[in-house]
């Protein structure tokens, strides 16, 4: 279950990075076309600014959710390790052994 959660967190982190990059690129494009005059350009610029604002809000929500899930998982893991330290050590040793075997095969 921890591996599935970690994969989900990694995908969410990648999504947040991708959205940030897209927003930055859109802001750059907006600054380039800001020198252009015309009614059509003004409408397009306004639409882009509205979409960027929406994207920023969604990005903040996604980051907040990601941080919350990560904290919850860390707290659950900490509680589990404190309740069953030897079981946690055994699981960690087993995972370490599997990773070692996989790395050795390559």
pLDDT digits (tens, 9 = 90+) for 18-47: 778 887 887 777 777 766 667 777 777 778
Token readout for 43 is 């409408």
Is 34 domain-assigned?
A: yes
What pTM was estimated for this model as a whole? 0.51
Q: Is residue 99 part of a domain?
A: no
Asked, for residue 106, whether it belongs to a domain, the answer is no
- Cα(60)–Cα(31) distance, rounded to whole angstroms? 23
Q: How far apart are CA 55 and CA 2, in angstroms?
A: 30
Question: Is residue 62, in this structure, part of any structural domain at all?
Answer: yes
| Host domain of residue 46 | 2-81
Report d(CA 91, CA 87) in Å as an integer: 6
Is residue 59 within 8 Å of 20, Cβ to Cβ? yes
Q: Is the confidence at residue 97, as pLDDT, over 80?
A: yes
Q: How many Å apart are CA 14 and CA 3, to the nearest integer?
A: 16
Reply yes or no on whether the pLDDT at 2 is more than 70: no
């Amino acid at each position: 279950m921890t591996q599935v959660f970690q994969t989900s967190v990694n995908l969410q982190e990648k999504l947040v990075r991708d959205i940030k990059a897209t927003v930055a690129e859109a802001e750059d494009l907006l600054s380039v076309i800001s020198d252009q005059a015309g009614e059509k350009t003004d409408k397009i610029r306004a639409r882009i600014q509205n979409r960027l604002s929406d994207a920023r809000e969604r990005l903040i929500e996604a980051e907040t959710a990601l941080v919350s899930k990560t904290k919850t998982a860390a707290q659950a893991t900490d509680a589990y390790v404190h309740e069953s330290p030897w079981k946690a050590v055994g699981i960690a040793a087993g995972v370490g052994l599997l990773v070692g075997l996989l790395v050795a095969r390559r």
